[in-house]
Amino acid sequence: MGGNGSFDKSIGGVPVVSRTHDELPNRINGHKILVQKGDAKKQVKLPMNSNSERPMYLCASVDKTTKEVTIKQIGIYRNHKIVAEIDLEFDKKGNLIPYSKGKGSHLHLYNEDTKGNRSRKTHDKKNMFPVPRKYRKLLKQIEQYNKEKHTYDHE
């Protein structure tokens, strides 16, 4: 769970000192829930590398005042590298907003440069797709998790 180039083949994972996210103790359908370490403005929202070969990470933010956890993204990985991201959007009642005409919850694909770093161009309307149906059950579970108002104090 680290930035570009952080997966170390010799140890079979991302070294602890290179990890950009903390893992919450609970999971949804076996998927880890992650929150960023430190100042979020200086880091990417999703880890670019994973310890596992093909995980899906549920990435959350923590409200500084209430400490409430809200899952806002899903990272999808292959060969320890991010390949896609699902951005989740919710209405004021916490209901997931489906994709329609370029708005609502959506999927982005990641590219790899010649150095092996993964990235995507932000706000690229050509790289914005509806969330595949196969994620429908997980999205409902995330919606319910967010409504339950879990808290996490990582300070």
Percent of the chain with pLDDT over 90: 52
100-119 average pLDDT score? 90
Residue 155 belongs to some domain of the structure: no
Residue 121 belongs to some domain of the structure: yes
Residue 87 belongs to some domain of the structure: yes
Structural domain tally of the chain?
1
Residue 22 belongs to some domain of the structure: yes
137-142 average pLDDT score? 98
For 66-92, the pLDDT digits (tens) are: 989 999 999 999 998 999 999 999 999
What are the residues whose beta carbons fall under 8 Å from the beta carbon of 60, sequence distance 6 or more? 24, 33, 34, 35, 69, 70, 71, 72
40 versus 117: the higher-pLDDT residue is 117
Residue 9 belongs to some domain of the structure: no
Distance between CA atoms of residues 49 and 34, nearest Å: 13
Segments forming the whole domain that contains residue 84: 16-147
- The pTM of the full predicted model, rounded to 2 decimals, is 0.83
List b or e across 91-124, with b for residues whose CB sees 16 or more CB atoms inside 10 angstroms.
Answer: eeeeebeebeeeebbbbbebeeeeeeebeeeeee
Confidence category of residue 123, pLDDT binned at 50, 70, 90: confident
- Phi first, then psi, for residue 32 (nearest 5°) are -70, 145
Residue 153 belongs to some domain of the structure: no
103-116 average pLDDT score? 92
**pLDDT at residue 40 is higher than 90:** no
Bridge partner list, 103: 100
